[in-house]
């Protein structure tokens, strides 16, 4: 299974390579074009000694941060030579840098730019295209990452339900016999016992004794607040439990504000008298609202048969 998960990851990663590169060259070209159209005489004079090496650095730039540094170098020279007050570009993402340059060009006095109206509008259009392209790129990466997460969730949930199914009969029989005695090991503290069953990497299973001396097995799947994973585990557990109910057992629900929909699912024996119901185990299943932990609870019979 680990090999399959690794294969799926590299497949998704390989598909991302087609759209994962930012258009650094495209932004570099527009940055060079901007500085070529700054016509403030003081700036042009001060910029002469920087111009060639700066342009070469732009053309060889490979990262967003390099372009931010080059843009800020241009801004620094302009501010010091032309007594300007153009803002510096902070460490921001690629599309935000493009948007910052769009805002920056509006800060120049029109007399200090040599763009014609049409060429200026074309420059702005090119910047908008860079922004749109980058946002689409990020959206595609997000989709690929979410697809990979979905595949990983399914793999994990499948592995968990396999173990759940493997152990389900033992848990139910342990409840029927009372106190889950064949499933528990030494107590780590009073009224709390570890369970000798493997339910998976994100599962924690123990048996507790309540104030009335009733034994209850509590299995918790910790999903790291992943609601989709929680719902997937819940769905698979529910499907198995509901299709393997013993004769006389029915599904119902009980109000509990700690769980999604304010209810926890209950599977218990529907006897004509309470005494009949109390001679059988009770199963509860639900997802906690805030933590998205999945709870599977089995309570031993209150009355011995």
Show me where the domains of the chain are located: 2-115, 162-299
In whole angstroms, what is the distance from residue 107 CA to residue 101 CA? Answer: 10
Q: Supply the pLDDT for residue 33.
A: 97
Burial track 179-203 (b if 16+ CB lie within 10 A, e otherwise) = bbeebbeeeeeeeebebebebbebb
Pairwise pLDDT comparison (16 vs 212), residue with the higher score: 212
- Does pLDDT of 74 surpass 80? yes
- Tell me how far CA of residue 242 lies from CA of 217, 234, 245, 284, in angstroms: 19, 12, 6, 11
Residue where the block lists tokens 């805002």:
103
Cα–Cα distance, 98 to 120 (Å, whole number)? 15
Q: Answer whether residue 291 shows pLDDT above 90.
A: yes
Number of helices (H) and strands (E), helices first, in the chain? 8, 8
247 compared with 4, residue with greater pLDDT:
247
Question: What's residue 40's pLDDT?
Answer: 94
pLDDT value of residue 188: 60
**What is the model's pLDDT at position 272?**
84
Q: What is the mean pLDDT of residues 138-148?
A: 96
Q: Which two tokens stand for residue 150?
A: 């979905």
Cα dist. 146→9, 11, 12, 142 in Å?
11, 13, 10, 6
pLDDT over threshold 90, residue 180: yes
At residue 9, the pLDDT reads 41
Q: What is the mean pLDDT of the chain?
A: 91
pLDDT at residue 187 in the model:
66
Selection from 140, 127, 58, 61 nearest residue 96 by Cα: 127
CB 229 within 8 A of CB 223: yes
Asked if residue 199 lies in contact with residue 205, where contact means CB atoms within 8 angstroms, the answer is yes
Q: Is the pLDDT of residue 88 over 50?
A: yes
* Beta-carbon count within 10 A of 82 CB: 19
Nearest CA to 97 out of 27, 44, 154 is that of: 27
Considering only CA atoms, give the Rg of the chain: 32
Asked whether residue 186 carries a pLDDT value surpassing 90, the answer given is: no
Beta bridge partners of 283: 267, 298
| Mean pLDDT calculated for residue range 169-187 | 90
Model pLDDT for residues 248-285, shown as the tens digit of each residue: 999 999 999 999 999 999 999 998 888 889 999 999 99
**pLDDT, mean of residues 62-66:** 96
Mean pLDDT of 291-296: 99
Looking at residue 16, what is its pLDDT? 43
Q: What is the mean pLDDT of residues 188-212?
A: 91
Residue 103: the pLDDT is: 96
Provide the whole-model pTM: 0.72
Q: What is the DSSP letter of 244?
A: S
């Amino acid at each position: 299974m680990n090999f399959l998960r690794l294969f799926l990851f590299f497949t998704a990663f390989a598909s991302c390579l087609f759209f994962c590169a930012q258009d650094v060259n495209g932004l570099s070209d527009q940055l060079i074009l901007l500085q070529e159209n700054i016509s403030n005489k003081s700036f042009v004079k001060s910029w002469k000694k920087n111009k060639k090496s700066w342009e070469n650095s732009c053309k060889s730039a490979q990262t967003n941060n390099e372009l931010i540094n080059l843009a800020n170098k241009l801004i620094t020279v302009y501010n010091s030579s032309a007594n300007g007050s153009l803002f510096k570009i902070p460490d921001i993402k690629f599309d935000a840098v493009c948007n910052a340059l769009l805002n920056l060009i509006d800060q120049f006095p029109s007399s200090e730019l040599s763009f014609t109206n049409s060429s200026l509008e074309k420059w702005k259009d090119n910047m908008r295209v860079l922004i749109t392209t980058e946002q689409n790129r990020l959206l595609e990466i997000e989709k690929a990452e979410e697809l990979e997460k979905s595949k990983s969730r399914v793999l994990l949930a499948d592995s968990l339900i396999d173990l759940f199914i493997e152990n389900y009969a033992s848990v139910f029989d342990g409840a029927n016999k009372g106190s889950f005695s064949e499933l528990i090991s030494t107590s780590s503290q009073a009224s709390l016992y570890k369970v000798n069953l493997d339910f998976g990497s994100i599962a924690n299973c123990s048996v507790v004794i309540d104030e009335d001396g009733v034994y209850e097995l509590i299995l918790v799947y910790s999903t790291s607040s992943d609601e989709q994973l929680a719902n997937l585990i819940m769905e698979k557990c529910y499907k198995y439990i509901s299709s393997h109910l013993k004769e006389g057992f029915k599904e119902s629900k009980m109000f509990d504000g700690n769980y999604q929909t304010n209810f926890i699912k209950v599977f218990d024996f529907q006897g004509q008298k309470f005494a009949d119901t109390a001679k059988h185990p009770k199963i509860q299943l639900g997802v906690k609202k805030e933590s998205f932990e999945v709870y599977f609870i089995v309570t031993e019979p209150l009355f011995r048969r």
